[in-house]
Amino acid sequence: MDALEEEKFIRISTLVLKEMQGTLTGEDRIFLDSWLNESEVNRQLYQRCMDGQKQREAYTRLQYFETRRSFDALKSKISFHTPKKRSTALKGLWPYVAAASIIFALSGIWYWNKDGNQRMNLPVAAVNDRLPASNQAVITLSDGRQYQLNKAENQVVIDGSGIRYNDGDEVAEINAAVSAKIETPRGGTYDVTLPDGTMVKLNAGTVLSYPTVFAKDKREVTLIGEAYFEVAKRKEQPFVVHAKNQQILVLGTHFNVNAYRTSAETKTTLLEGKVAVKELRHGRQVTLLPNEQAVNTGTNLSKRTVNVQQEMAWVYGKFDFDGKSLSEVMDELSQWYAIDVVYKGDIPDVEFFGGTFRTSKLSTILKILKDQDLSYQLTADGKLIIEKNEPKKQKGGQ
């Protein structure tokens, strides 16, 4: 979908939503009517969009189509292998996916006020924009040397012999360095292979520290931010992740850790195998099985069953906003687009449904999340200002 098609897709989605709300007027009405008159397919799609139940079904199908064939691979492959081109099967199905995408976009802007289930839509006042996160990272060695990694690459390997990209190109020699730190900025991601063969995918705004050669009795790393781990199995050499007042002990497994400094909770989600999570303040410990998540608030450690596909949406290129509050959604956007979110005044407590792709520009996300009761302004220095619209004054002084 090129830029013009994307803009038309967003505009049609917005106009259909206005039609649902009874606020469609003037030129918008003419534009939507013209689109409806273009084809029977458009008219049928419009009817599906006007059916709330079908919106939810379409969103579910789109999620299923995107994740079913990749979820098993996610546990061992998808995180660290980027396909060179779209498969023939996907190319053939594209018209149907594109048709569902309008409903998907509409699903993405549906959310409810927790008190009254009131549907709302968010207008954008921003003229600036932000591109999605890209391959960006810096490696710092213990001897002080620092290297800005190539944006054209997406994975780096560091071991006792040196630093190199996944394709074999050398970055630097290790020499006397005994440890390394790889850091992604906000708006940056990168993958790293550790000295033991463990693969780690770093989300935006993340720091991973580790030795260039692991000790014989255990493998220890320290994490700030969010990362997905595929740990190489070594029964006699446990793998330990230190992250925000807790440690995670594993032998060989696939799991995700969300431990941003700004977050009130540290979340550890298990996809495969078994891990023990221990909080350090009181020494409490929980053991996780697949599809379980440990939540550490700093004063309490608990575990729960979760939707792993939602928790891992970032790994396979999506935002999943289901059940999340405005602040939770904005926290994700802040990391991914390197923006600072500022709230002005009283902001409604809202809950989102749906999501979209992480390859979208920020302006696209904000259009999908429109609302007449809130206004958004993105400043040139990367501040996203959110405030409640002032009530419209009635005419005649009434």
SS3 370: coil
Measured CA to CA, the distance from residue 333 to residue 349 in angstroms comes to 18
Q: Distance between CA 77 and CA 302 in Å, rounded?
A: 30
Continuous segment of H or E residues that includes residue 195 = none
Three-class SS state of 68 = helix
Residue 51: pLDDT over 80 = no
In CATH, the architecture of 219-306 is Sandwich (2.60)
What three-state secondary structure class fits 379?
Answer: coil
| pLDDT value for 10 | 64
pLDDT tens, position by position, 80-89: 544 344 344 3
Taking residue 372's Cβ as centre, other Cβ atoms within 10 Å add up to 13
Q: What is the dihedral of CA 293, 296, 300, 302, to 10 degrees?
A: 10
pLDDT above 70: residue 3: no
3-state secondary structure of 66: helix
* pLDDT average, residue stretch 58-68: 44
- Of the candidates 336, 328, 384, the residue with the CA atom closest to the CA atom of residue 360: 336
Picking from 267, 276, 274, the residue whose alpha carbon sits closest to that of residue 331 is 267
pLDDT at 142 over 90: yes
CB 172 within 8 A of CB 162: yes
User: Distance between terminal CA atoms of the chain?
Assistant: 49
Query: How far is the C-alpha of 11 from the C-alpha of 82, rounded, in Å?
Result: 31
Average pLDDT value for residue range 150-172: 89
Return the H-helix or E-strand segment holding 294: strand 292-296
Under the banding of pLDDT at 50, 70 and 90, the label for residue 109 is very low
Burial 219-258 (b: 16+ CB within 10 A, else e): bebbbbbbbbbbbbebeebbbebbbbbbbbbbbbbbbbbb
pLDDT, one tens digit per residue, over 111-137 is 333 344 444 444 443 357 888 999 999
Give the 3-state secondary structure of residue 43.
Answer: helix
How far apart CA 258 and CA 225 sit, in angstroms, is 6
Q: What is the C-alpha separation between 270 and 111, in angstroms, rounded?
A: 28
Mapped onto helix, strand or coil, the DSSP state of residue 50 is: coil
Judge whether 159 and 116 are in contact, CB under 8 Å.
no
| 141, amino acid identity | L
| Range of lowest pLDDT (86-100, 116-130, 302-316) | 86-100
- Mean pLDDT over each residue of the chain, to the nearest integer: 78
Least confident stretch, 72-76, 137-141, 206-210, 365-369: 72-76
The beta strands (E) that lie in 123-198 are given as: 134-135, 138-141, 146-148, 155-159, 162-165, 170-172, 179-184, 188-193
Query: How high is the pLDDT of residue 112?
Result: 35
User: Which range among 14-28, 84-98, 106-120, 171-185 has the greatest average pLDDT?
Assistant: 171-185
Residue ranges covered by each domain of the chain: 3-130+317-397, 132-214, 219-306
Provide the whole-model pTM: 0.70
> Which residues lie across from 250 on neighbouring strands?
239, 275
Beta bridge partners of 182: 139, 208
Q: For residue 331, count CB atoms less than 10 angstroms from its CB and return exposed for 0-12, middle for 13-18, buried for 19 or more.
A: middle
